[in-house]
Structure 1
Amino acid sequence: MAETGWKTEASLNAVIGGKAAEFMDLHHAQILSPDSYLSLYIKGFDEAKAQWGAQTHRENYERFKNSEIAQKYFALFLKRSYLKHFDEYSRMRPQLEESMIWIGQNKAHYGLFITPTWRKGEWVNDRSEIRHFPKRYWTIGHVLASGLVVDGDEDPIRFADTEAYLAFFKNTLVRASGSPYERAIAQHYIDFVRAAPEPEHVPLLIPEFRYGGKDAKHGYRLDFTIINPFTMEKVGFELSPWSTHGQLKGIKTKTQAEINEEAKANFEKEADKLRAYFKKHGVYALIYTDAQLADIPGLFAEMEKYLSPVDKVQQLDFELLNAFFK
């Protein structure tokens, strides 16, 4: 305190900690170590003090510059701050525009948000709380915490527990599609969740991901989508039986050229759909045709690896950490 001129430790801590959100993008940055956190802070501090009118930043910088022990305190404070918020800072967070998903059939669609907030007659995310969200993003725990929302209705749909959500998933979200393949996959997913040691950590099997969000006319829906809660990578599953995606009708009255042109148009429509999802939403989609649909257990076995993601960020041993600091 004598070397820096700050009167109390609390005021010194406030000067350091209170600027973190100003110097770093804590909404989106994935920070994997205390050193990275310190480095980002210093970079932001350096840029801030160079701004016009940033006299306070420059004065604070000079105080630290003139005291070696204050510099050590500065670094230690920031590293400890990172460790206190390790789960928040080390996790990958979706970009704001990707933090909401609209799912379901036309006129029966639902919004899956991270921190849904009703403002001025519509649902939005509370951006300031996204990084504090206590559950893994896009998992069973996520939907239990956030619920689902209906466009134009300020009352969210809440689920008391995992079983309540699974019943809604099966009987409302998937049943509406009318596809026996989707219903069969849904039942395998329900069994998978029930058998999981920690059901709330299982990624959501998101049905009918709407390309255009809540817009009534949006063109496409993707049968199922899974989002990795650690990397935010998206993979889609498009079920394409020949009876609904390829078979042509009335061919007896058509020329071979007309048949070829219609088949070509169907093929291009499916390809355009998958490209569109990748370009707009970053979803890489897998296509399953009749050969795979004949073996639903085998198809679901391929899905399971996406439903069992591994966190590649090494978790800290906090008991060892506490002992070290003591």
Structure 2
Amino acid sequence: MAKRDPNKTARNKLDTEITDRLKVLWPKVAKDTGVQNLHAFNALIGGKAATFIDLKNEVISSHEEYLSQYLKGFARAIAEDGWTAGGAPFSSETLKHNKQLLLKSAATKEYFTLFLKRSFLRHYEELVRNRPAIQDAEIWIGQNNSDYGLLITPRYKNGTWENDKSEIRHFGHLYWTIGHILETGLVVDGDPNPMSFANVDEYLNFFQKVLVRPSGSIYERQIAKLYAEYVKAQDKPEEVPLLISELRYNGKDKRHKYRLDFCIINPITLNKVGIELSPWSTHGKLVGTKGKNQQQINDEAQANFEKEAEKHRAYFQKHSISTLIYTDKPLADIPKLFGEIEKYLKLRPETRQLEFQLMAEFL
């Protein structure tokens, strides 16, 4: 039996208490405002949230912050007729009328603030989680003519794949995890049929044999094998971050400038770390030096070094990816090397996720 989340239990308890209080307040609110339809009055409050708050991008960690953002947007929408944070706009006259109703009495004010607090509780998981910026909500992997896209809310439109931006915050899995790819599958641009995976084993088989094997690197294959074993050994394999192979610098562009051997995106913080395997035989060794003088050899070696350094700077500047570089010495012991990678596969929930459990214990 799955262990009950004490934080979620505490939130549900608060939700029930607020709902009971709203039921007690409603007869007085209906009398004070003249609005007899409960659902219509609730829609007057909740239906404006997307207008007053940028729900696609804002990360909101408390009900006080949610109320503050709502009120700030409410005031701005009245002051700037037609302004909206992202939802449907409403005229200043309509909003002024709504404001008068919501401030009609002490009962309506309490109902209004409690309703917003309950809204925050019910959408807690969506509101507190870090969400990728729109430009970071899709990644493309693979070599030339063998590229695949991983999106959060993929939809096929006008012959290409894109995210349904309005649904990104509602995505039910941790971003960039095994569960994510099992939910969405991989896509090929120009093909309306996504490539789906029935279970963890099926994806890991594809990962090793189709995504990693074509690179020809014995080191990448060994790491992929250890990763597959690691995932299968976890109690919740669907929550393990993806070991993203061959991350393309220019996304789905047919001509790509760079690829990273591996990348891991932390699904909670969204921090990214790249993993580059750089054995001397392929990244440093010079061939065809016969007939070249020392200066020419040095110039060629420097050019190779500059190219490699530029690649890692470019990934950091464009994608905020810091890269770990493994050369021959660590590559001689792949199990030990994977032990270093493994720490980036472990999730550490943020402290704020405990707030409701702590509130219940202390209060």
Structure 1-normalised TM-score? Answer: 0.95
Corresponding residue of 1:141: 179
Corresponding residue of 1:235: 273
Cα displacement (A) at 1:243: 0.6
Amino acid at match of 1:108: S
Structure 1 SS opposite 2:345: coil
Corresponding residue of 1:155: 193
Cα displacement (A) at 1:185: 0.4
Q: Does 1:117 align with 2:155?
A: yes
Structure 2 SS opposite 1:236: strand
Deviations 1:72-96 (A, max 9, x none): 1111001111111111111111111
Structure 1 SS opposite 2:140: strand
For 1:21 and 1:196, the matched residues in 2 are separated by 38
Cα displacement (A) at 1:292: 1.0
For 1:252 and 1:5, the matched residues in 2 are separated by 94
Cα displacement (A) at 1:126: 1.0
User: What is the count of residue pairs matched by the alignment?
Assistant: 324
Q: Does 1:308 align with 2:308?
A: no
Cα displacement (A) at 1:191: 0.6
Runs of 4+ in 1 over 4 A off after TM superposition: 316-322
Corresponding residue of 1:221: 259
Corresponding residue of 2:92: 54
Deviations 1:19-54 (A, max 9, x none): 111111111111111111111111111111111351
Amino acid at match of 2:317: K
For 2:351 and 2:107, the matched residues in 1 are separated by 32
Structure 2 SS opposite 1:251: coil
For 1:162 and 1:126, the matched residues in 2 are separated by 25
Q: Does 1:290 align with 2:328?
A: yes
For 1:321 and 1:270, the matched residues in 2 are separated by 51
Amino acid at match of 2:68: S
Q: Does 1:36 align with 2:65?
A: yes
- When structure 1 is superposed on structure 2, of 134-143 and 63-72 the one drifting more is 63-72
For 1:216 and 1:320, the matched residues in 2 are separated by 51
Structure 2 SS opposite 1:298: helix
Provide structure 2 residue ranges, at least 5 long, that are not aligned to the other structure: 1-29, 82-90
Amino acid at match of 1:179: S
Q: 1:32, 1:313 within 8 Å by CA — same for their partners in 2?
A: no
Structure 1 SS opposite 2:245: strand
Deviations 1:247-271 (A, max 9, x none): 1111121111111111111111011
Corresponding residue of 2:290: 252
- When structure 1 is superposed on structure 2, of 33-42 and 194-203 the one drifting more is 33-42
For 1:69 and 1:214, the matched residues in 2 are separated by 55
For 1:319 and 1:289, the matched residues in 2 are separated by 46
Cα displacement (A) at 1:317: 8.4
- When structure 1 is superposed on structure 2, of 34-43 and 102-111 the one drifting more is 34-43
For 2:354 and 2:170, the matched residues in 1 are separated by 19
Corresponding residue of 2:212: 174
Corresponding residue of 2:107: 69
Structure 2-normalised TM-score? Answer: 0.86
Q: 1:103, 1:210 within 8 Å by CA — same for their partners in 2?
A: yes
Provide structure 1 residue ranges, at least 5 long, that are not aligned to the other structure: none
Amino acid at match of 1:294: A
Cα displacement (A) at 1:2: 2.2
